[in-house]
Amino acid sequence: MRKSKPKRKRMKTPARPTNPGFPGGYLPSFLLLLAACLPGAAAALDFRSVAAAHAVLYDAPSPQAKKRYVVGKYFPVEAVIVLDSMVKVRDSSGELSWIEKKNLSEARTVVVTAPRADIRQAPDKNAALVFQADKDVALELVEAPRTGWAKVRHRDGQSGFVAASQVWGL
């Protein structure tokens, strides 16, 4: 006696509306662009830093939500969605959380992601070493990166240039 194979239900794939005027030709590309322009959507790469001495990161957009982490002053985040009193942020590990808007500053900081970052006098790997910063140290962004180097300042006052590949938050 032959066993019959179970019948598989064939999933119907919905047709993807095409629009040749947009990259990829798909309408969803347009919707993503439109969503970025809506109120509440942050601009691309909208980096900020924590202004409060201690700030709580939540799992939902409410101070009554589950508390996930506590972060300190100067901790850099990328604003993804901005609501009235809460902001959805991404940290250097890629995790998404919510933080109260009042705890954020427009000041830009970066965090060292390399085991140890070399901060040099000039934007050149052969320039004299000013200091080194260990992983997870926050540095103030003084000047946006040019040719792969950003000018940064440590909170003790020392400043120099760091390779963009050694930090997150640019």
Range of the domain at 43: 25-107
In a domain, 7, yes or no: no
Number of H helices, E strands in the chain: 1, 14
82 belongs to a structural domain: yes
Domain assignment of residue 6, yes or no? no
Q: What is the pLDDT along the chain (170 residues), one digit of tens a residue?
A: 554 444 444 444 444 444 444 444 444 444 444 444 444 444 457 899 999 999 999 999 999 999 999 999 999 999 999 998 999 999 999 999 999 999 999 999 999 999 999 999 999 999 999 999 999 999 999 988 878 999 999 999 999 999 999 999 98
Pair (69, 97) in one structural domain: yes
Same domain for 97 and 30: yes
Same domain, 102 and 124: no
Prediction pTM value: 0.69
